[in-house]
Amino acid sequence: MQAAAGVGASQIYHYFGDKQGLVLAVIDHQTDTQLARQRPLLDNRDSVEALREWCDRAGSRQDERGCEGGCEIGSLASELADSDRSARTRLVSAFDRWEGPIRSGLARMQARGELSERADTDALATALLAAVQGGMLLSQVRRSSTAYRQAVSAVIDHIESYLVR
């Protein structure tokens, strides 16, 4: 790690305390970067159209990258969740920060009477984030955004089925 960064061990210990501190800082940086990139869409996902636009932009970003790399937060999770308890805890927080605006947007739709009271906004938000993550992984492996687009579209279609007409 330090060779790739071109720094000495003393600099790592000075700024991060230890390797664990560096790993946690990377998680925080990737989370902040991903969430910042998705604003203002992140804060305005309170319509089916906004959800589709957000997911479509992520699919287009995957296409631009040749579907390489997947999701930075998801990649960290797959590497660290089983081997590093502190990192897993930090990753739970990262996904919660990402899922929160989805949940809030769905709750606003429900409060406005656009989304049925039968809709479980917590479950729908989790399902959409799971579709994003699973779809990104399949896109990375298959080098095609088709699976991503199908997964998120299916969940958004399900959300749409709760719209009050």
Tell me the C-alpha distance between 81 and 65, whole Å: 25
Instruction: Give CA angle at 20 (15, 21), nearest 5°.
Output: 30
What is residue 123's predicted lDDT score, i.e. its pLDDT? Answer: 98
113 Rama sector, left if φ>0, alpha if ψ -120 to 50, beta otherwise: left
Q: Say if residue 4's pLDDT is above 60.
A: no
* Interval 16-42 mean pLDDT: 77
pLDDT tens-digit series, residues 65-74: 999 988 788 8
- What integer pLDDT is reported at residue 3 of this predicted model? 54
Q: What is the pLDDT of residue 14?
A: 57
- Write down the architecture of domain 8-160 according to CATH: Orthogonal Bundle (1.10)
Question: Is a pLDDT exceeding 70 seen at residue 1?
Answer: no
Q: Is the pLDDT assigned to residue 89 strictly greater than 70?
A: yes
- For residue 142, what pLDDT is reported? 96
Q: Round to whole Å and give the CA distance between 103 and 35.
A: 15
Of 42-56, 101-115, 133-147, the least confident: 42-56
Give the pLDDT confidence score for residue 12 in this predicted structure: 59
Helices marked H in the chain: 2-5, 9-16, 19-37, 48-64, 72-80, 85-111, 121-142, 146-160
